[in-house]
């Protein structure tokens, strides 16, 4: 199985940029994001969509056995897992729009191509999903996931996108990682990018410095992987956890809408209600 580059750099500066994270099989949220993206495209804006990964693996049909609720007592995961429908539509979008629809490989995708098996809702979520798919579809999703990177840099915006919270490492360190090889020193880099939830003091700043290069200075890191009822939260002086779907209250689910011609010097430049937007309109708590 051929793997793609682990760091991808976006050089284009025209049009808006949609950044989302962690859908975990929520078809309604996926369709809303598609609506936002396609509406922009219909206006001739040439939008780009970048995901922080974890499209796959949702709650069982009987609901979340942990009965997780938000601070108002409302269930957080009361939806049906429709990962197969999401993947079919996502792959079609990627084929249609090429490098204008990109995704990080999250730890739940990694579970299908040599990573640690995940068990949020099932004992082996990768096996559970693959049992629902045809052999040809399984082969295709593995091929796709292996081609996805670990880091995406948007040079003009000064923003890097990851899934988890990687330890400080440079481009060469990420490029040496392999999805199907878990031994060796570079494994720490890959594992941290997949499963770490936050940064120790100063690690986000150091990571951005090490990922920066001439022509690609980075000042903000956006990641997913964790849950946040309010939709987003700083996880370091230069890092922001984005919660678009999984683990956020419905009216607080958030995505980023950026201008690729603009540089964002700090997370303070990502303003609530402007760059940070709600997936669904406010209708209550």
Residue 271 near residue 245 (C-beta atoms within 8 A) = no
CA distance 104 to 87: 14
Q: HSE on the CB side for 148, CA within 13 Å? A: 31
DSSP 220-233: EEEE-SS--TTSEE
79-116 pLDDT, tens digit per residue, is 999 999 999 999 999 999 999 999 999 999 999 999 99
CA distance 21 to 18: 10
CA distance 205 to 199: 10
Q: What is the pLDDT of residue 62?
A: 56
Specify the residue for token string 């069982």.
60
DSSP 70-126: -TTS-BS--S---HHHHHHHHHHHHHHHGGGEEE---HHHHTTTTSPPP-SSSTTHH
* Domains of the chain: residue spans and CATH: 7-278 (3.60.21.10)
Q: What is the pLDDT of residue 65?
A: 55
Token representation of residue 94 = 């990627």
CA distance 231 to 243: 5
CA distance 263 to 150: 22
Residue 188 near residue 164 (C-beta atoms within 8 A) = no
Residue 158 near residue 217 (C-beta atoms within 8 A) = yes
Q: What is the pLDDT of residue 281?
A: 81
Supply the mean pLDDT for the chain. Answer: 93
Report the chain's terminal Cα–Cα distance, integer Å: 47
* % of the chain surpassing 90 pLDDT: 87
pTM of the predicted protein model:
0.95
Q: pLDDT below 70 — which residues of the chain?
A: 62-67, 181-186, 283-285
Token representation of residue 218 = 């980075």
262-285 pLDDT, tens digit per residue, is 999 999 999 999 999 999 987 543
3-class DSSP assignment, residue 249: coil
Residue 266 near residue 220 (C-beta atoms within 8 A) = yes
Compute how many other C-beta atoms are within 10 angstroms of the C-beta atom of residue 130: 16
Q: What is the pLDDT of residue 187?
A: 78
Q: What is the pLDDT of residue 53?
A: 98
């Amino acid at each position: 199985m051929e793997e793609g580059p682990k760091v991808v750099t976006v050089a284009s500066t025209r049009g808006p940029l949609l950044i989302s994270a962690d859908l975990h099989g929520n078809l309604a949220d996926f369709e809303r994001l598609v609506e936002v993206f396609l509406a922009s495209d219909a206006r001739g804006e040439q939008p780009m969509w970048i995901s922080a990964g974890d499209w796959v693996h949702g709650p069982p049909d009987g609901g979340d056995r942990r009965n997780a609720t938000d601070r108002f007592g409302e269930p957080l995961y009361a939806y049906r897992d429709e990962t197969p429908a999401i993947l079919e539509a996502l792959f079609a979008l990627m084929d249609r729009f090429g490098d204008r629809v990109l995704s990080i490989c999250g730890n739940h995708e990694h579970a299908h191509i040599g990573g640690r098996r995940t068990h949020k809702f099932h004992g082996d979520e990768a096996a559970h999903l693959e049992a629902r798919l045809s052999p040809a579809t399984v082969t295709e999703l593995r091929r796709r996931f292996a081609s996805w990177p670990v880091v995406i840099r948007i040079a003009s915006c000064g923003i890097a996108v990851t899934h988890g919270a990687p330890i400080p490492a440079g481009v060469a360190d990420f490029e040496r990682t392999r999805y199907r090889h878990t031994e060796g020193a570079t494994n720490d880099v890959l594992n941290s990018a997949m499963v770490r939830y936050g940064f120790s003091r100063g690690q986000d700043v150091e990571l951005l410095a090490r990922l920066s290069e001439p022509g690609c200075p980075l000042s903000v890191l956006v990641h997913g992987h964790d849950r946040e009822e309010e939709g987003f939260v700083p996880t370091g002086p230069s890092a922001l956890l984005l919660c678009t779907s999984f683990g956020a209250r419905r009216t607080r689910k958030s995505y980023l809408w950026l201008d690729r011609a603009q540089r964002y010097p700090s997370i303070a430049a990502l303003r609530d209600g402007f760059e940070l937007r709600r997936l669904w309109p406010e209708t209550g708590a």
